[in-house]
Amino acid sequence: MSQDSPDRTAADRTAAERTAADRTSLVTGASRGIGAGIARHLLDRGVRVAGAYRSGRDGVEKLATAHRDRVLPVHLDLGDPDSAVDAVEQVRATWGRLDSLVLNAAVWDGGRLTRMDPDAWWAVVETNLRGTAAVVRAAVPLLQEGNDASIVLVGSVVGHVGFPGDTAYASTKAALVGFARSLAKELAATGVRVNVLAPGFVDTDMTAAVPEGSRATIAEATLLGRFGTVDEIARAAVFLSEDATFCTGTVLAADGGWSL
């Protein structure tokens, strides 16, 4: 199909109309790192953002100060399903709609399976999976009231290829793929898309603690020879949320080729 064909022109016009639309997104873990980057890029696109935080309200407040009337700080604790309901209700009460949900928040605790405390291991699984399901369950009815809604689950390449000391966290990220693909089939008839973004190793305040020797080993194993940046992952998340209108049940790896 040529670039100037009628069908392509219509598709481009639809995309432009969507960009200019009055869209609203709920982003979890928006107080720092990748979540904050996703929130900023959505705001740059004209999307209003409900920035969900567990303890870092100050980070979301900074976004709210920079983008008046377009950022709503909301408390959301993955360990408390009721807080997910409260967060979605705040979005409904403030803006009356929800067009996209970006589930970036997760907890991490690591250690070899035989050395890690079983309760700590199960706490990661319980928080990440139960918390994800609770937020989605709360948000779906409001997402279904609109048009062209989307859900993006931020997973990890460790859920596909594994990593020593990460059995708990990797299990939850692997589970997101099956969850997303099943949910995509459940929600397709209502027009809600569901996709997974699987980042590799990214420069954030969390990975800053990785020892230099380990960082060098990881970078060497990555085809592009480096860690990713928050902006690179945020752009990929916004693509799935706002632009990938014919994608559902998709897993997009943004890992610099580390998983190959």
Q: What is the pLDDT of residues 142-176, one digit of tens each?
A: 999 988 999 999 999 999 999 888 899 999 999 99
Q: pLDDT class for 197, splitting at 50, 70, 90?
A: very high
The active-site residue out of 39, 53, 84, 169 is 169
Q: What is the CATH number assigned to the segment(s) 18-254?
A: 3.40.50.720
Q: Once rounded to an integer, what is the mean pLDDT over residues 127-147?
A: 96
pLDDT exceeds 60 at position 220: yes
**Cα 186 from Cα 64, distance rounded (Å):** 34
Contacts of 148 (CB under 8 A, 6+ apart): 18, 99, 191, 245
Q: Which tokens is 3 given?
A: 């670039």
**Cα 97 from Cα 140, distance rounded (Å):** 11
- Local structure of 127: helix, strand or coil: helix
Listed by start position, the domains of the chain span: 18-254
CB atoms within 10 A of CB 62: 15
Q: What is the pLDDT of residues 95-105, one digit of tens each?
A: 999 999 999 99
Q: Once rounded to an integer, what is the mean pLDDT over residues 87-93?
A: 98
Q: Is the CB of residue 11 less than 8 Å from the CB of residue 20?
A: no
**Cα 224 from Cα 203, distance rounded (Å):** 14
**Cα 198 from Cα 195, distance rounded (Å):** 10
**Cα 57 from Cα 230, distance rounded (Å):** 20
pLDDT at 203: 86
**Cα 168 from Cα 110, distance rounded (Å):** 7
pLDDT exceeds 80 at position 87: yes
Q: Is the CB of residue 89 less than 8 Å from the CB of residue 95?
A: no
Whether residue 169 lies in the annotated active site: yes
Rg (CA), the chain: 18
Q: Once rounded to an integer, what is the mean pLDDT over residues 50-65?
A: 93
**Cα 35 from Cα 141, distance rounded (Å):** 23
Question: DSSP letters of 13-45?
Answer: HHHHHHHHS--EEEETTTTSHHHHHHHHHHHHT
- pTM for the structure as a whole: 0.89
